[in-house]
Amino acid sequence: MANAQSIGVCYGSNGNNLPPKADVVKLYQSNGITAMRIYGPDSAALTALKGTNIKLIMDVPNSDLASLASSSSAAASWVNKNVQAYYPSVSFRYIAVGNEVSGGDTSKILPAMKNIYSVLLSAGLQNAIKVSTAVSTAVVGISYPPSKGAFSSSASSYMTSIVQYLAQIGAPLLANVYPYFSYVGNPGSISLDYALFTSPGTVVTDGSYKYQNLFDAIVDALYSAMEKVGGSNVGIVISESGWPSGGGNAATMSNAQKYNQNLINHVGKGTPKKSTPLETYIFAMFNENQKPAGIEQNWGLFYPSKQPVYSISFK
């Protein structure tokens, strides 16, 4: 069960100067980081994770969706090669079938999820390893106030069946939640304090719910959207959240440190709508120099040298 300490860090590897995988895993351990997300199967990372008890979200890359959606034998061989070959010495927690999938590929998410689930089911692993997909909060068309949260008409066409399937198999939805982008897109009506968890009091009142930070409001809008399509029992795992420390508006080390430390301290309490602790993965472990210049290169908690960008406590 998730608790206040269920804090992971996303391990992106779009850099040509990053430490060896085994060193990265040691860095997680020495900082008390108990969970990791990787964006596709990586044999060196998986080998380094063996026996560490670090909980893992592993993505099915979007480029694999078509083959896994159309072929149950492709799904079986994917799970066999990338999951069963390392289980149980690697603590797989979720398979994220696609990350922020868009356009025509959205129709492939659910068939691929079903094919992967049936492989896990036949191996008796369906309770140990949950199957889901990671979505951006852009799937929510109406987000204010949070109780009125609803999927956009374009997202509703595929999210409704995905949410109902998650309800059926007892798995949470994975969501990438970024107050930073809401704030920089609308600084006139969103205060920086509200985005950084530093507001001294209630900012938004929605019926009996009081919101002191934007993160809770975004998450509760997503809960409301799921309720409206039959997902009132579907949980949420925050598969990415973070704040950039350079390269753009409000992207400072001080703001990034505040946001991420406050996020860690906050998610154990859940949200006004659901007091269940939120398992949360911070984006990202390292600054990645092969991403586009600007904020994209500045989400890391650590430099490639393994030195911290700013101080964060996971304890």
Active site residues: 100, 240
Encoded tokens for 18: 């990053």
Residue tagged 């998730």 (tokens): 2
* Residue 97 DSSP SS3: strand
Determine the residue type at 72.
S
Q: Is residue 174 within 8 Å of 135, Cβ to Cβ?
A: yes
- Angle formed by the axes of helices 153-169 and 106-122, to 10°? 10
* Residue 249 DSSP SS3: coil
Q: Is residue 136 within 8 Å of 198, Cβ to Cβ?
A: no
Q: What is the dihedral of CA 198, 200, 204, 210, to 10 degrees?
A: 100
SS (HEC) of 17-61:
CCCCHHHHHHHHHHCCCCEEEECCCCHHHHHHHCCCCCEEEEEEC
